[in-house]
Structure 1
Amino acid sequence: MGNDKYQVLKDYFGYTAFREGQETLIDGILSGRDALGIMPTGAGKSLCFQVPALLMDGVTLIISPLISLMKDQVNALNQSGIPAAFLNSSLTAAQYRSALEYAKSGRYRIIYVAPERLMTESFLDLTHHVRISMVGVDEAHCISQWGQDFRPSYLKIRTFIDQLEERPVISAFTATATDAVKDDIVKILELENPVMVTTGFDRKNLYFEVQKPRDKFTSVLTYLEEHPDTSGIVYCLTRKNVEEVCEKLCDAGYKATRYHAGLSDEERKRNQDDFLYDNKSIMVATNAFGMGIDKSNVSFVIHYNMPKNIESYYQEAGRAGRDGEPADCILLYSGQDVVTNQFLIEHSSDNEELDDELSEQVREKDRQRLRAMTFYCSTNECLREYILRYFGERSANFCGNCSNCNQNFEDVDITVDTQKILSCVKRMGERYGVKMIVDTLRGSKNERLLSLGLDHLSTYGIMKETKEQRLREIIQFLLLHDYLRSSDSEYPVLCLGSNARKALFDAEKIQMKLPKEEAPKPKKAAASQLPPENKVLFDRLKKLRASIAFRQSVPAYIVFTDATLREMAAVVPQTEEELMDISGIGQRKLEKYGDTFLSAIREFLQDEEN
């Protein structure tokens, strides 16, 4: 296999230099030390155990929970001339027996195995026939109850290692780990004096944005129109969302495919290949897609729904820009996403082998992570800094490459607003959720509020001039900074937090970043208000749009919406600059349709003159 790490790197993997952190971990492992590598998606974790595996005597076992990852990595290794195999539930009984026999005969240097297989009689028998030089634990965060994907089967790893005749080197790798998870990995795996590398979580080429659109699908279409000829992933929370979004994208003329656990293995494989080989440019998927997928030219990841924790979000978003080129990570947020995630947490059956007490502990940690994810979607601070701080990393509070840093914000004194909100929560007995607090402060006349007598409180209506959206933003800020806290229940209620006293009694000045409120734009002309001659133009433009849509086999609204055509008919633009001022016309549509529609308008004006 070669006796030099650089020779192995070049001969088998085709690289001439190691990336940050790789060489430190490889050197540690080759010197006989345990290792822990925390490296973000795309940083090259696999090489850290694959290169040493080819330079050590004996067999390296890689424990992984992901069948698709095992298959892909084993296929890639075999293609590179490295004998490797996997042992998991996707093999038939006959295939599994054959793989074990080949392993006993010394055919493989690297064997991937699911954690559930470790303590089976047949696998333990294998360990008596081969020398195991290293046990590598991939997705090592799964061993910790603090991890976002705790798997009790990972707790068997240490038991397995203890019964081996000779202790191997133990290495562990993960893309996302907080300090608590990192400590758990070291403790539970009993790593001895491990070489530890955290390469840093920051991916400077990734742009982060949170949108709160009224119509999520329109936002996706707008993005795709503005970024033609790009490849990306649209993540959805449920299979139903995947089906709907994929179908609508295909109807709109985009090359999209889908991936979720409800499809057959054959279709998942076919759709995954279509995406990987650029037959389809857009993959619409649940979080079942992506682990171990090394597609370098993914230029965007759009989350159609908010994931349930920062760890999952950053791992999924990190599948963009693996080639180092600029890439976009956009999250489309709505309050319903929180409700859906809360339901999934309360009714999860991922770990049926847990007892009731442990299940509740896991759920409680999932609720905490969901709150952190919700705060991410609500903060007006730098999004990159929020993520890095979550993982225990310090960073500047202005990155210049996220939607919050690029928006027009101002520092607003919210001291008085804070006191009003906290007083309202207190006077309402700390028994109500955000919606009821907001309605009371804004003086709502809703039936339930009146029946509870909340309209008699001194805080009723004291913020009626404040828009609901801004009031909710301030409440989220107060939750994030512990002036308020939310109860851990299926129907959360607001309570005073540990910093409430400072705001209410210590005259603490409180400031937050808020987007500058823009002056209301003049109303556009509606179709019913169009003069007769402009109605004629509107009808002409509709016919032109219909002919273009027919030629392109797309719905008419994909070319331009009725609202855009109405404004066009009302304004009668005659230059590209004037056309660009019309709502719904961006640079791409200007380039694609501008000349055609301007010609039609000029023809109309000539006809009017004649």
Structure 2
Amino acid sequence: MEIKKSLFDNLHNFFGFEKFKGEQEAIITSILSGNDTFVIMPTGGGKSMCYQLPALMSEGTAIVISPLIALMKNQVDQLRAFGSSDSIAHFLNSSLNKTETAKVKQDVIAGETKLLYVAPESLSKQDNIDFLRDIKVSFVAVDEAHCISEWGHDFRPEYRKIRQIIGQLGENIPIIALTATATPKVQQDIQKNLQMQNAVVFKSSFNRTNLYYEIRPKKNELKEIIKYIRAQNGKGGIIYCLSRKKVEEVAETLNINGIPSLPYHAGLDANTRATTQDRFLMEDVQVIVATIAFGMGIDKPDVRFVIHYDMPKSMEGYYQETGRAGRDGGEGSCIAFYDQKDIDKLAKFMKDKPVSEREIGTQILNEVIDYAESSVCRRKQILHYFGESFNEQGCSSMCDNCRHPKERFEAEYDLLALLKLIQKLKENFDAEHIVNILAGREDAEMNTFSHDKLEEFGSGKERGAVVWKSVVRQAVIHNFLVKDIDSYGILKLTKSGKSFIEAPYSIRFSINTDFDKVQTTEEDDIKAGGGALDDTLLGYLKELRKKTAKQKNIPPFVVFQDPSLEEMASQYPVNLEELKQISGVGNGKAMRYGAPFVELIKKYVEDNDIDRPQDMVVKSTVNKSSLKVSIIQNIDRQIPLDDIASSKGLGMPGLIQEIESIVLSGTKLNLDYYIDDVIDEDRQDEVFDYFKAAEEDSIDLALAELGEEDYSREEIQLMRIKFLSELGN
């Protein structure tokens, strides 16, 4: 009773809370009683409280082993904000200089520090071991404990040395290991490695009822993402990409399209990452685009969406990253874009790894494929993966498969055929091999075992491999089969599976063909479009362009080119910001000529009650904006164009195309320094006068009029760029 009172008093006095969350009270009591304690608790469940409060209540200093500097800093800052002194919590890692390290050790020795955060790499340094051996360690907390396991999604070899080092710090030091994601296999691995098989285990439900899960085919994904975020009215979110390059590209595209975003990945310096994290917490930016380096321990409760631009490498990774949405119990949408090509790339990365590591990685990846392509309740699949049973009725349509149920079919015969084949082959093969037999697919393994001679080979050919994969997945989820992880995913019959063979009964499965033939575009550029061309509006826009051109004494094509007007007539931009999204417009042209055009379009939309396309065209500078900036800078420095073309690996035609794009978007460029060297003044005047009187800016027409024997295509292009830049921008 006294401990309980003390617990609640400290909870209220230090953190300001009146009650504990979930099993926090029992967990804290366990570690205060000196027990090894293992905590498996989803993100947002309050794991950090489970070691922070007992550390404050215990004699000595608790050592908290944490994998990321950002996570340590975040938690130390929070603890200092709650406490009366900065010395109450410190971190010891490579980011500190000698003076700062000495200050940390001084505060710990003085007994002022209750929590000391240490990276596993710092913990293994002999001088740190010697220092920690001489202080009173209340207990050791191993945060993100899944890093211990090769089956975990963030395996860190340094974590496997932790037990050995704790042994050097003293006898009978209690350990509390904590993770937000642990399959039964990972759980066993953690306990075995930390030698805490007798630990008191607390496993909370992995069900996050407030999160909505959805998988979308990866097609026009950037356009989809921008459309989605614009509809969020400023709510904050995280987008995860697998590569640093893609992180930079996506963040840049979001910014160009008016969504304040910052990139975050391990290639950025520590100061930039810390600033980025702080700006997200302070809501200076709406979106963080990140690799998995971002998010571990980030205490932002109101992340409203988590988008996976690329599917993650594991279900643990997916669950932990989606878990950063809605930590306050409010709405949280988790959308992932799936394409088999991305999975193929991940599989390719593993081909040079040791056999055992490759086998483990392949199985982990197959779980991601099963999840993405499946037609059953997403929540049921996630919870099944973490060893938890769930009735899909409890999903309450909080996943795409429950909200939009897929086609269902009578599966009694298919399931029976599948289970009988597995039984006949003495439960010695994985899902891929079994599916290939039923679908009649030839491969090397089929010939090795002569399974192409089985009567079952090709017996389900008309059903197709997609259906058989779905049957296998649902047989596992409904507990007719189990994957033997230790034997590389071999399918084994469960008691229920054997019973079904003896006494089959009617059962309905669902099928998802959305991902069977997902076509992906090789180009990252997002094409304009989305609405049908409005010929009436296009006519009005051309009249306005003609009138504007007459007033300015310039040809109409200098104001806006035809493709830009056509896009306006299908997308209906009604303000300058939307007009800037139209290709070939840009900031310069929008400001110079845009006002009357958007006024005309706005009045037309109102007068004709037009239902505008919701997916406004997205402006893309992916892979190109940095190139354009560099070209502009080089031209400003008057670097010869052929030198710029050579240094950028573009060739002269490619460079001219890029320069045209820059000028057409409204940026003024002065190419006189180059043109004056290659085209004499009289010939320049002749081309300039031609374009001034021309109806169109066609290069072919100009060549025909001016004479191909007198001018090259390149010369005409350069002069057209000069003309458009001087008169139009």
TM-score (normalizing by structure 1)? 0.74
Specify the alignment match of 1:132 in structure 2: 137
CA distance in 1, matches of 2:533, 2:97: 70
Specify the alignment match of 1:37 in structure 2: 39
Q: 2:140 touches 2:175 (CA, 8 Å); kept in 1? A: yes
Confirm whether residue 472 of structure 1 aligns to residue 466 of structure 2: yes
CA distance in 1, matches of 2:18, 2:501: 62
Match of 2:267 among 242, 262, 286: 262
- Judged with a 3 Å threshold, the aligned counterparts in structure 2 of structure 1 residues 282 and 127 are, in CA distance, closer, same or farther, namely closer
Match of 1:536 among 536, 539, 551: 539
Amino acid at match of 2:125: T
After the TM superposition, which residues 201-216 of structure 1 pair with which residues of structure 2 at under 5 Å, given as runs?
A: 201-216=206-221
Specify the alignment match of 1:120 in structure 2: 125
Specify the alignment match of 2:377 in structure 1: 382
CA distance in 2, matches of 1:528, 1:42: 42
Q: 1:307 touches 1:341 (CA, 8 Å); kept in 2? A: no
Q: Report Cα offsets for 1:178-211 as digits up to 9, x if no partner.
A: 1122223233222374332112111100000011
Q: 1:201 touches 1:388 (CA, 8 Å); kept in 2? A: yes
Q: CA deviation at 1:246?
A: 1.1
Q: Report Cα offsets for 1:320-369 as digits up to 9, x if no partner.
A: 00111011001111112201221333457xxxxxxxxxx54333222211
Specify the alignment match of 1:26 in structure 2: 28
Match of 1:361 among 340, 356, 364: 356
Specify the alignment match of 2:596 in structure 1: none
CA distance in 1, matches of 2:270, 2:531: 53
CA distance in 2, matches of 1:305, 1:116: 30
| More moved, 395-404 vs 337-346 | 337-346
Q: CA deviation at 1:408?
A: 3.6
Q: 1:64 touches 1:139 (CA, 8 Å); kept in 2? A: yes
Specify the alignment match of 1:407 in structure 2: 404
Specify the alignment match of 1:151 in structure 2: 156
Q: CA deviation at 1:43?
A: 0.8
After the TM superposition, which residues 551-566 of structure 1 pair with which residues of structure 2 at under 5 Å, given as runs?
A: 551-552=577-578, 554-556=580-582
Match of 2:64 among 62, 65, 74: 62
Match of 1:579 among 603, 611, 623: 611
Amino acid at match of 1:12: F
CA distance in 2, matches of 1:532, 1:89: 64
Confirm whether residue 77 of structure 1 aligns to residue 72 of structure 2: no
What is the percentage of aligned positions where both structures have the same residue?
36
CA distance in 2, matches of 1:284, 1:261: 12
- Judged with a 3 Å threshold, the aligned counterparts in structure 2 of structure 1 residues 324 and 531 are, in CA distance, closer, same or farther, namely closer
Specify the alignment match of 1:234 in structure 2: 239
Q: CA deviation at 1:471?
A: 5.8
Amino acid at match of 1:380: S
Counterpart secondary structure, 2:329: coil
Specify the alignment match of 2:113 in structure 1: 108
- Judged with a 3 Å threshold, the aligned counterparts in structure 2 of structure 1 residues 127 and 229 are, in CA distance, closer, same or farther, namely closer
Specify the alignment match of 2:312 in structure 1: 307
Counterpart secondary structure, 1:548: coil
After the TM superposition, which residues 166-565 of structure 1 pair with which residues of structure 2 at under 5 Å, given as runs?
A: 166-191=171-196, 193-346=198-351, 359-398=354-393, 399=395, 400-413=397-410, 472=466, 474-478=468-472, 481=475, 511-514=508-511, 536=539, 543=568, 548=574, 550-552=576-578, 554-556=580-582
Amino acid at match of 1:57: E
Q: Report Cα offsets for 1:288-307 as digits up to 9, x if no partner.
A: 11111111111000000100
| More moved, 310-319 vs 165-174 | 165-174
Q: CA deviation at 1:484?
A: 12
CA distance in 2, matches of 1:160, 1:527: 61
Amino acid at match of 1:80: F
Q: 2:146 touches 2:153 (CA, 8 Å); kept in 1? A: yes
Q: 2:373 touches 2:512 (CA, 8 Å); kept in 1? A: no
Counterpart secondary structure, 2:222: helix
- Judged with a 3 Å threshold, the aligned counterparts in structure 2 of structure 1 residues 473 and 306 are, in CA distance, closer, same or farther, namely farther
Counterpart secondary structure, 1:233: strand
Counterpart secondary structure, 2:350: helix
Q: 2:235 touches 2:304 (CA, 8 Å); kept in 1? A: yes
Q: Report Cα offsets for 1:127-156 as digits up to 9, x if no partner.
A: 343111111111112222332222222222
**Residue-pair matches, total:** 528
CA distance in 2, matches of 1:527, 1:365: 43
Counterpart secondary structure, 1:329: strand
CA distance in 1, matches of 2:482, 2:108: 55
Q: 1:235 touches 1:302 (CA, 8 Å); kept in 2? A: yes
TM-score (normalizing by structure 2)? 0.63
Counterpart secondary structure, 1:392: coil
Counterpart secondary structure, 2:166: helix
CA distance in 2, matches of 1:218, 1:530: 19
RMSD: 4.6
CA distance in 2, matches of 1:416, 1:128: 65
CA distance in 2, matches of 1:498, 1:315: 30
- Judged with a 3 Å threshold, the aligned counterparts in structure 2 of structure 1 residues 585 and 93 are, in CA distance, closer, same or farther, namely closer
Q: CA deviation at 1:265?
A: 1.9
CA distance in 1, matches of 2:55, 2:109: 17
Specify the alignment match of 1:162 in structure 2: 167
Q: 1:39 touches 1:45 (CA, 8 Å); kept in 2? A: yes
- Judged with a 3 Å threshold, the aligned counterparts in structure 2 of structure 1 residues 165 and 417 are, in CA distance, closer, same or farther, namely closer
Structure of higher CA gyration radius: 2
In structure 1, stretches of 5+ residues that fail to align are 349-358, 423-429, 443-453, 518-525, 560-567, 587-610
CA distance in 1, matches of 2:371, 2:583: 33
Q: Report Cα offsets for 1:535-568 as digits up to 9, x if no partner.
A: 6378688557676353457412799xxxxxxxx9
Counterpart secondary structure, 2:392: coil
Amino acid at match of 1:405: C
Q: CA deviation at 1:403?
A: 0.3
Q: Report Cα offsets for 1:65-122 as digits up to 9, x if no partner.
A: 2221111111221222261111112223443344233322323111111222334321
Counterpart secondary structure, 1:4: helix
Q: 2:184 touches 2:387 (CA, 8 Å); kept in 1? A: yes
Counterpart secondary structure, 1:393: coil
CA distance in 2, matches of 1:237, 1:161: 34
Specify the alignment match of 1:96 in structure 2: 101
Q: CA deviation at 1:159?
A: 1.5
Q: CA deviation at 1:52?
A: 0.6
Counterpart secondary structure, 2:223: helix
CA distance in 2, matches of 1:329, 1:415: 33
In structure 2, stretches of 5+ residues that fail to align are 420-428, 442-451, 515-528, 543-564, 586-600, 618-729
CA distance in 2, matches of 1:190, 1:209: 39
CA distance in 2, matches of 1:380, 1:363: 28
Q: CA deviation at 1:412?
A: 1.5
CA distance in 2, matches of 1:46, 1:97: 26
Q: 2:263 touches 2:289 (CA, 8 Å); kept in 1? A: yes
Amino acid at match of 2:361: D
Amino acid at match of 2:178: F
- Judged with a 3 Å threshold, the aligned counterparts in structure 2 of structure 1 residues 189 and 552 are, in CA distance, closer, same or farther, namely same
Q: 2:374 touches 2:512 (CA, 8 Å); kept in 1? A: no
CA distance in 2, matches of 1:319, 1:60: 26
